[in-house]
Amino acid sequence: MSNTRSGEAAERRADTGGGVLNVFAHSFLVLWAVLAAGPVLWVVVSSFRPHTDLVSDPFGLPTDLAWDNFSNAWTSADIGRYTLNSAIVLCGSLTGTMLLGSMAAYVLARFTFPGNRTVHLLFTGGMMFPVFLAIVPLFFVLDNFGLLNTRQGLILVYIAYSLPFTVFFLVSFFRTLPGAVQEAATLDGASHTRTFFQIMMPMARPALISVGIFNFLGQWNQFVLPRVLNVGDPDDAVLPQGLAALMVQQGYEGDWGALYAGVSMAMLPVLAVYVAFQRQVQTGLTAGAVR
């Protein structure tokens, strides 16, 4: 009996000690939560307010919902078109990255052949180089092939620059898969290609999802490459380019409401998908730093 009482007392002591720190910890955590989400919330709230209100009081809440902002951003600022452009490019580049990346990674991870180590090093070494070292020659490489300012060119470049990390990540994953399954498939008469597509790819699903999310966000948010390689027709701009252009345009026209509406439209789908799949997204993105 006395034993439990002294235990309770100790617990109470620890409680108070922890309590002070708890308040301290919580206040900092809440402060950063406000800082992280505040600007995002502010933009979303402001996107419902007309421009004149925004100028007089940037902090206010919307009095009546100004849907005009959204229709302005959608039609005049072409957010719809930019989103579509991004989606088309992503369809090609993400499929290509995942397919080519896993093909190369599988071969490098599971087969011995002369030059294996060299090729592996070549791919992973690409992670060490800053894109800006290559950007000027790359511009002219694309120009020579007639791929400058085309979607195909952008897709190919996205694939090429996503390969180093994709290959690196998938090689280490394919190496962990049991070899017995592969052997069994071969004994059953499956060709290498069939083994890869019907057995190894499904087994590698968790890694493919992680690296797929990583590549999706990286390519969807890519700013540097389209800024340099996709400058022909403003109508062909992808979403990040479009938003930068929208800011310049609305700066002249002086319609902050439409700007906020445009940013909200670009941002909310991504945030919604993120919240729905937050665990996968978090592991997918942090996988990039653990290399």
Partner 1 sequence: MEGVTSAERAAPGTVPAQGGPPPVHTETPDRPSPVLRLLFVAALFTPPRWTPRRVRYDRRYRRLDQYRFVAWFLSLPLLVYLLFVISPFVQAFFYSMTDWTGFSSSYTFTGFENYERLWNDDAFWDAARNSVLLLVAAPLITLGLGLFFAFMLSAGGRKRRDQAISGVTGSGMYKIVYFFPQVLSLAIIAVIWTRIYSPRSGILNEGLGAVGLDSWQREDWLGGDVARWCVLAVLCWSFVGFYVVLFSAAMSSIPTEVYEAALLDGAGRRVTFFRITFPLTWDTVRTGWIYMGIQALDAFALVSVMVPEHGMDVIPSYLYDKAFRDGQAGYATAIGVALFLITLVFSALMMRVGRRDRIEF
CA-based nearest residue to 46, from 32, 25, 22, 63? 63
Under the binding rule (CB under 8 A), the answer on residue 181 touching partner 1 is no
Asked if 209 touches partner 1 (CB under 8 A), the answer is no
Instruction: Give the CA distances from residue 136 to residues 141, 150, 225, in Å, rounded to whole numbers and listed in that order.
Output: 9, 17, 11
Q: Cβ of residue 52: shortest distance to partner 1, in angstroms?
A: 11
- CA-to-CA distance for 143 and 151, rounded, in angstroms? 13
Q: Which of residues 113-142 bind partner 1 (CB under 8 A)?
A: 113, 119, 122-123, 126, 128-141
Helices 116-125 and 79-110, interaxial angle, to 10°? 150
Contact between residue 101 and residue 108 where contact means Cβ atoms under 8 Å apart: no
Report if residue 221 touches partner 1, rule: CB under 8 A.
Answer: yes
The answer to whether 86 and 216 have CB atoms below 8 angstroms apart is no
65 to 84, contacts with partner 1 by CB under 8 A? Answer: none
Size of the site for partner 1 (CB under 8 A): 100
Q: Which of 9, 11, 95, 152 binds partner 1 (CB under 8 A)?
A: 11
Classify residue 60 by its DSSP letter: P
| Binding segment (CB under 8 A) for partner 1, from list 70-78, 171-179, 198-206, 282-290 | 282-290
Q: Which of 25, 61, 91, 184 binds partner 1 (CB under 8 A)?
A: 25
State which of residues 109, 243, 258, 261 lies at the interface with partner 1 (CB under 8 A): 243
Determine, following the binding rule CB under 8 A, whether residue 247 of this chain makes contact with partner 1. yes
